[in-house]
Structures are given as structure tokens and as C-alpha cells.
Amino acid sequence: MLRSLSIPARGTALIALGLLVLGASVLAGCSPQGESDPAANQAGAGLTAYFDATIIDGTGGPPITEGVLLVRDGRIERVGSADEVDVPEAAILVDLSGKFVMPGLIDTHVHVGGTLGLEGGHYSTENILRQLGLYARYGITTVNSLGDDQPEAIDVRDSQNTAALDRARIFVGGTVVTGDTAEEALAVVEENAAMGVDWIKFRVDDNLGTVPKMSPSVYQPVIERAHELGLPAAVHVYYLDDTKLLLESGIDFIAHSVRDAEFDEETIGLFAGRNACYSPTLTRELSTFVYEDTPDFFADPFFQAEVDDEIIAQLSDPERQQSVKENRAAQLYKEALPTASANLMALTNAGVRIAFGTDSGPPARFQGYFEHLELAMMADAGMTPAQILKSATIDAAACLGLDDVGTLEAGNWADFVVLGANPLEDILNTRTIEAVYIAGNRVSRR
């Protein structure tokens, strides 16, 4: 016996999420076990039905009201309105009335595994897993680690293709490719490929005029070789002219904002022509200067929940704040931030794919919280909540070449976030997290 959920669900008093997990037969009116249809029970075995939520499925269509999400073996089996989706009798029910469900967020530019407290140099499997748990608790269910990754990260990535997963998924860039000659750089590409990376990453930047830049004669063979190996190429940039030449050279992913000049039509056209992705990392800029004072977010309980008081105290030290105020690079990055915001809007308005990215992970770029800060900065730059969510879900997944995360559609992993308020009304509502699920497993609190 298959039946629609809407009638019994509406008859049920609102019960807090997490308390109501019942067998469907209970809601069906306590019918004796003998009367149930064995075939229907078979169909419901191992199935969980999340019901009566407003579902934002990430495809850009209108939200599904009175939505039902069916999950089995870590993946979405069906999603739709209560009218469309029948729930087998034996399914486990989770009442999400009054809640909003969105796909787990995807950060396309992070660094995982090295930082502990405010220190680098702590790379280990344990630290990778700890950080992936932290991301997960903030609703970031997939991250792309673009640099300084070691074989431990490859092993962690290779163990995540399971319905038992309950931490963020990771994809890996390996060692940032460097070299004075093409030969030297290509040797690093080969080492990365042998390790099993998902990306080839390099830098074309002079760090505000302080170091030599990688030249096209070095990076063009790197891009070419990456593509021969079937790997996309990502680049750290700062300057518009470099970005233009990189796009002409076939780059797939611009991993930071262009900050020296505003985009021109020609460069915007190059993005479209290559279908290249652009990752703003506005919070990376923020992190360079924000600790010159005590940031407002130090008082935010959503931040405090995952950051030790000791770290907040260290970053609030007046001497440290003074050194940030006097730091030339910090002040130049601060001056350049409005250009980054304007460029984000120019590309957004042109329909270029914006790959949500923060560069979180290095010391004082707080994983999880900085993603939510980035969402807010994208809104401040002028993006609508729908545009921002698109960037952090379906577009981020596409920019990473992932086809089974980023949207809540049949066949995808059941990676989703339950919110108390509608993120399409105000992007800050992504902070009203009530539960996070990865492969259908509820992520436990700290």
C-alpha cells in the first residue's frame, strides 16, 4: 500500500526536528502489523522520508512547498511535493514542517589539513578529518583543497564514496606547481598526477611586487600537460592582464578575484568562450586586514561555537592589531577589495559561472564560519540570495566537475542542510542551521 504523506503529516502536531523519527505505520493510524502490505514494506526498507519541508533543490526552480525527500543508501531516491511523491509504509519519517532544506554548500577553494589553532605545520590525517567535520557542522558538505595537499588527503578522498559518510567530502589539488623553467614545473605536475590529484594548481602573482611571477613560457606547458592528463588547471591571480592571458592559454579556474583593475568586455568574453569559472575568495582579502581591530564577528555565537577563546584572545592582542595596521600588504589588499567586489558583479551580470570559494583553512581564515562570511560579502557586493546559492551549490559542483552533489535530485548523494529560515529571503538565513546531513547521515554536533 503506497499512500501520500500529506494527510497524516498534517494531522501530526509540530514536533521538534530530531525528536520525530517514526515508522510510517505509526502515523498511518496504528494499523495492526498484519494488515500491512509486505510488498510496500519491502519498498520502504532502508528508506527515510524527510517531509513537509520547503525544499530548495539547487536547480534554480521555485522552492517545493510541502516537499518530500526520499533517501536510501546515502542517495536521494526522489524529491517532490507531497502530492507527487508516495511514501512507502515502512519508511522512516522525519518531520521537517516549517523548515527549509537546501543542498549542502560547496567551497571550491580551501586548504585542508595544515592548520591547528593559529599555526600551520600540523598536517595529518587526523587534522584533515577534524577539519572536514568542522566544515560539515557549518553546512559545507564538499570542499576543494587547492594546494599543500599530501598523500593523506588522497586516502581521505578515496574513502568517502560510502553511504556511511558523515563529514565533508574533499577533493585535492596536491602541491602548488612552481618552477623557474617549464621542465621543473612539469616535474611537479607529474608528481601530483602520480599521487592522484583532482586538480593542477599554480600561481601567477608577484605578491604586490615582491617576488617574480611565473612566466607564460612556464605555465602554458603546465596547463597543456594538465589537460593531457585529464586534469583541470586552477590558478592564483591578482592582475587583470595575467588573467586575460591565462584564459587565452586555456585555464579552467581562476581561483581568486582580479584586484588591480575592473574587468573589460574582452576578458569577460574570454570567460564565456571557455566556460571558465571564477572564485572570488573575498574573505581571503578580509582576513589580511580585519584583525587590525576586533572584528564584529568575534561576538557572534555562530563563530564562538567553534573557535576557542584562546585564539580570539591572541587575535585581539593590541600589539598584534597594531602590526596588521602597519602591514603594507594588508592595507593594499584592503584598498583593493572594492575592485574585487565590482568584478564579482561584472561577471555575475555577464552570466559567468561564479564558483563559491573562500581560501579558508590557513591560520585566522576560519573554516566553516568564513564560508558564511563569504556568502554575506557576496550579498554586500550586490548578488541576490538566489545567485549566491547557485554559486555555492550547482555552479560550484559543475566547476569541480562533480555530477552527484550540488543539487537535490534523484541519484545524487543526500548532502543537505535543514534551516529554520528561508535563505532565498536573506542569505544570512543559511546560519539558521538545525541539522546537516551527508550521505543521509546526520552530522553530530561538536
CB of 361 to Zn ion, least distance (A): 8
Q: Which is nearer to Zn ion, 86 or 359 (CB)?
A: 359
Helix (H), strand (E), coil (C) string for the chain:
CEEECHHHHHCCCCCCCCCCEEEHHHHCCCCCHHHCCHHHHHHHCCEEEEEEEEECCCCCCCCEEEEEEEEECCEEEEEEECCCCEEECCCEEEECCCCEEEECEEEEEECCCCCECCECCCCCHHHHHHHHHHHHHCCEEEEEECCCCCHHHHHHHHCCCCCCCCCCEEEECCCCECCCCHHHHHHHHHHHHHHCCCCEEEECCCCCCCCCCCCHHHHHHHHHHHHHCCCCEEEECCCHHHHHHHHHCCCCEECCCCCCCCCCHHHHHHHHHHCCEECCCHHHHHHHHHHHCCCHHHHCHHHHCCCCHHHHHHHCCHHHHHHHHCCHHHHHHHHHHHHHHHHHHHHHHCCCEECCCCCECCCCCCCCHHHHHHHHHHHHHCCCHHHHHHHHCHHHHHHCCCCCCCCCCCCCECCEEEECCCCCCCHHHHHCEEEEEECCEECCCC
Say how far apart CA 389 and CA 356 lie, in whole Å.
9
Q: Which among 23-31, 45-53, 173-181, 351-359 is the span making contact with Zn ion, rule CB under 5 A?
A: 351-359
Q: Which is nearer to Zn ion, 27 or 258 (CB)?
A: 258
Q: Is the CB of residue 99 less than 8 Å from the CB of residue 53?
A: yes
Smallest Cα–Cα separation from 233: which of 399, 354, 360, 357?
399
Say how far apart CA 302 and CA 308 lie, in whole Å.
12
Q: Which among 268-276, 286-294, 353-361, 425-433 is the span making contact with Zn ion, rule CB under 5 A?
A: 353-361
Q: Which is nearer to Zn ion, 222 or 435 (CB)?
A: 222
CB of 287 to Zn ion, least distance (A): 11
CB of 186 to Zn ion, least distance (A): 22
Q: Is the CB of residue 271 less than 8 Å from the CB of residue 253?
A: no
Taken as a whole, the chain contains a residue count of 446
Q: Which is nearer to Zn ion, 205 or 248 (CB)?
A: 205
CB of 217 to Zn ion, least distance (A): 24
Q: Which is nearer to Zn ion, 111 or 167 (CB)?
A: 111
Q: Which is nearer to Zn ion, 237 or 417 (CB)?
A: 237
277 forms bridges with which residues in the sheet?
253, 353
CB of 392 to Zn ion, least distance (A): 17
Interaction of residue 359 with Zn ion, rule CB under 5 A: yes
Q: Which is nearer to Zn ion, 23 or 362 (CB)?
A: 362
Site for Zn ion in 256-285 (CB under 5 A): none
Half-sphere exposure for 336 (CA within 13 Å, toward CB): 26
Q: Which is nearer to Zn ion, 255 or 378 (CB)?
A: 255
Q: Which is nearer to Zn ion, 359 or 395 (CB)?
A: 359
Q: Which is nearer to Zn ion, 40 or 340 (CB)?
A: 340
CB of 120 to Zn ion, least distance (A): 13
Q: Which is nearer to Zn ion, 281 or 430 (CB)?
A: 281
- Closest-by-Cβ residue to Zn ion is 359
Count of residues touching Zn ion (by CB under 5 A): 1
Interaction of residue 371 with Zn ion, rule CB under 5 A: no
Q: Is the CB of residue 60 less than 8 Å from the CB of residue 82?
A: no
Site for Zn ion in 374-413 (CB under 5 A): none
By CB atoms closer than 10 A (0-12, 13-18, 19+), residue 119 is: exposed
CB of 236 to Zn ion, least distance (A): 6
Hey, what's the cell of 206? 608577484
CB of 156 to Zn ion, least distance (A): 18
Q: Which among 57-65, 356-364, 425-433, 438-446 is the span making contact with Zn ion, rule CB under 5 A?
A: 356-364
CB of 109 to Zn ion, least distance (A): 6
Q: Which among 212-220, 266-274, 354-362, 427-435 is the span making contact with Zn ion, rule CB under 5 A?
A: 354-362
CB of 358 to Zn ion, least distance (A): 9
Q: Which is nearer to Zn ion, 205 or 262 (CB)?
A: 205
Q: Which among 3-11, 310-318, 358-366, 369-377 is the span making contact with Zn ion, rule CB under 5 A?
A: 358-366
CB of 42 to Zn ion, least distance (A): 49
CB of 158 to Zn ion, least distance (A): 23
Contact residues for Zn ion, defined by CB under 5 A: 359
